[in-house]
Amino acid sequence: MPRLDLTADAVTLTEQLVDIESVSHHEQEIADAVEEALRSLGHLEVSRHGHTIVARTDLGRGERVVIAGHLDTVPLNDNLPVRREVRPEGDLLHGLGTCDMKSGDAVILRLAATVPEPNRDVTFILYEAEEVEAEFNGLTKLSASNPELMRGDFAILMEPSNAGVEAGCQGTLKVEVRTTGERAHAARSWFGDNAIHKAADILARLQQYDARTPVIDGLEYHEGLNAVFVRGGVAGNVIPDECVVEVNFRFAPDRSEADAEQFVRDFFEGYDVTVTDSAPGALPGLHVPAAKAFLEAVGGEANPKFGWTDVARFTGLGVPAVNFGPGDPMFAHKQDEHVPVEHIERCERLLRAWLGGE
C-alpha cells in the first residue's frame, strides 16, 4: 500500500495523491493511505465509513467548521503519472486529479497534520464517489448514516475555484418535454402528424427565454434554461409520432426544487413535462460569523457558484457552505488537467491563518 508523508509540503502531497489511481468506485487504495496517515495523528478522532474518512478535533471550541474534499477522479485519459512543468511565471502540476481535486485534498491533509490546536474545532472529510451518481456519493451516504459528522457552523468544500471563494451553488433540474403525433408513410405525410415539427414551439419558447439574475447576499446569480438533447424519429420513410426535447434548468439558490419544477411546468404549459433529475441549490450563507471571518481572511471577496457542487449536501443539513480550492474548474476532467503550484500554496496559507495556525 502506498504511504502518504504528512511532513511533506502540500505540493509534494498532491503529487503523492495523484499517483494513487482512484477512479470512482476504486478508491480503496487511496482511502487506505489517507486513513493510515490520519490515524497516526494523536489529536484527531478518526472514523471510516466505506471509503470515506472523517477526522475531527474535539477541543470544545465555540465553533465547528467542516473542510471536505473527494478522493475519486473521472476515468484515466493517458494523464498519469503526475508531472511538474517548471515555468518562469509559476510551476504547474499536470495529471489526473491535480485540479479536481487532489490538490485540495493535500491541503486538507496538511492542515489536519500541522494545525493540532485550531481556533475552531474542525471536521475533515475525505470522501468517495463524487464523480458518479448521487446514490454512491460518500457525503450522501454519510448524511444518511451519520449526519452528526457533517454538522457544523460552516463548511468549506475544496472544489477548484481558482483559489478564490465561490459561495453556494445553483440548483439543477432536468426535464423531458414531449410532443406526440401520428405515424404515416413519408410519401403520404398528410395522413400523419409530425411530432418533430411540433417541437418547434418548444425551441422557440427557449429561444425567447429571459434569464433571471437575482442578487443573494450581494452575489448575482444567473439562471439558465436550455435544450441539451432532442430525440425523435422512427425511420427515414416514417413520419414520427413522438419527439422529446431534454431541457436543463440551472436555477438560483433562492428557489426550492419545487419552485423550480413549477416554473418549468408553467413555462412549457400545454406540453407533457417529465422530471428526470433534480438537485437543490445552496444559499451562500455569508452572513454567518464563521463565514464572515473566513471571507475576511481570504481577501473579503466572493463570487457566485453557477455550477452544482456538494455544498448543497451541507446546506441540506442546515450548514452554510462555500467552494474554495486550488485549480481552474475549466480544466477539471480534461486530458490536460493541471493546477498552479501557487494556488495550492495560497489555499493552504490562507486556511492555516484562518484556523490560527502559524
Residues designated as active site:
72, 130
DSSP state of 188: G
Question: How far is the C-alpha of 99 from the C-alpha of 122, rounded, in Å?
Answer: 23
> Whose grid coordinates read 454567518?
288
**How many DSSP H helices and E strands does the chain contain?**
10, 19
Question: How far is the C-alpha of 141 from the C-alpha of 335, rounded, in Å?
Answer: 30
Question: How far is the C-alpha of 111 from the C-alpha of 126, rounded, in Å?
Answer: 13
Do the beta carbons of residue 339 and residue 332 sit within 8 Å? no
Neighbours of 229 (CB within 10 A): 11
DSSP state of 98: I
Which of 273, 135, 244, 268 is CA-nearest to residue 179?
Answer: 244
Torsion angles phi and psi, residue 259, rounded to 5: -60, -45
